[in-house]
Amino acid sequence: MKTRTLGQGLEVSELGLGCMGLSFGYGPAVEKQHGISLIRAAVDRGITFFDTAEAYGPFANEDLVGEALAPVRDKVVIATKFGFKEGLTAKGLDSRPERIRAVADAALKRLRTDRIDLFYQHRVDPAVPIEDVAGAVKELIAAGKVKHFGLSEAGADTIRLAHAVQPVTALQSEYSLWWREPKREILPTLQELGIGFVPFSPLGKGFLTGAISDQTTFDTTDFRNVVPRFSPDARKANQQLVDVVREVAEAKSATPAQIALAWLLAQKPWIVPIPGTTKLHRLEENLGASNVTLSADDLSRIEAALSRITVHGARYPEQLQKLVGR
């Protein structure tokens, strides 16, 4: 697989694997051996970039990723995150320096490794100056426990303040054909500072694959049940976006998921999407996006079609929306 370089010279496969859904967020966790097999299948197919977090489970996802990647540890890049009280999103934010240090030590054990390749602040904590957060990670880098510093869903001003203390390697935020807001302010900021961008939910939490309709029902533990954009009415209204993607896919002999990923790859050479999946055939389908080339004309047509579509529903419920873009 082709590689891309994020900030600070961190080289990774041009598509990573978001591992959250194997343990958390989208219904029951997969059986552990299945998760290990899927992660190792990704390695076998050339993926070198794996994303997890303390909060996924909590803890279970880091443990799964650590066990799966232990035999190939020196050939892969592992990203994890800190920032929630006791690792529980429901308990709120906690990016105090002492907490960051404790999370790093615990994550190293769960990941079965001596260093975290990329350590993200999961959400910006308004109670802790971002300079203190960056300073704490800088100390962990000096100690050899962490290699690179990342932010997630941070605003442009926060990115600049953090970067001045400890160079930021990557920003991880939502970005897709369904959520194009980062184009306005975030992408120019990252370009200026030489920071890579790692889009999560590049397939719109599955919606852009075309496999979800207004009739689809989710497991009771699936996060999408509380996302306004996934209400049945919103899904019905947003179907026109999927229709555009499907039309392009048919013209390119590709799938909607491949077009959604190829679109992201075409935006900037330092963008590395991290689609997640629990299924081997979806993993292979996603990897096929590397072979789809969208011309300038294709991209213009997609842009023109999207400009006529209004996306319905917020991307987070209100209490979670407050945590992004700060």
Rounded CA separation 72/308 (Å): 46
Helices assigned H by DSSP within 59-126: 60-69, 97-110
State how beta strands 168-174 and 116-121 pair.
unpaired
Identify the pLDDT of residue 318.
85
Look at residue 49 and tell me if it is in a domain.
Answer: yes
The total number of structural domains that make up the chain: 1
Look at residue 144 and tell me if it is in a domain.
Answer: yes
| Active site positions, annotated | 56
Q: What digits encode the pLDDT tens for the residues 150-166?
A: 999 999 999 999 999 99
Quick one: residue 231, left, alpha or beta (phi over 0 = left, psi -120 to 50 = alpha)? Answer: beta
CATH code of the domain covering residue 78: 3.20.20.100
What residues contact residue 86 under an 8 Å CB cut-off, 6+ apart?
Answer: 58, 94
Look at residue 104 and tell me if it is in a domain.
Answer: yes
Domain that holds residue 80: 3-321
Look at residue 171 and tell me if it is in a domain.
Answer: yes
Q: Is the dihedral of CA 216, 219, 223, 225 positive or negative?
A: positive
Look at residue 130 and tell me if it is in a domain.
Answer: yes
pLDDT along the chain (326 residues), means of 10: 98 98 96 98 98 98 98 98 97 98 98 98 98 98 99 98 98 96 97 98 96 95 95 95 96 98 98 98 98 96 94 90 88
Q: What digits encode the pLDDT tens for the residues 31-46?
A: 999 999 999 999 999 9
Q: What digits encode the pLDDT tens for the residues 255-289?
A: 999 999 999 999 999 999 999 999 999 999 999 99
Q: Return the SS3 of 152.
A: strand
State how beta strands 49-51 and 77-82 pair.
parallel
Look at residue 326 and tell me if it is in a domain.
Answer: no
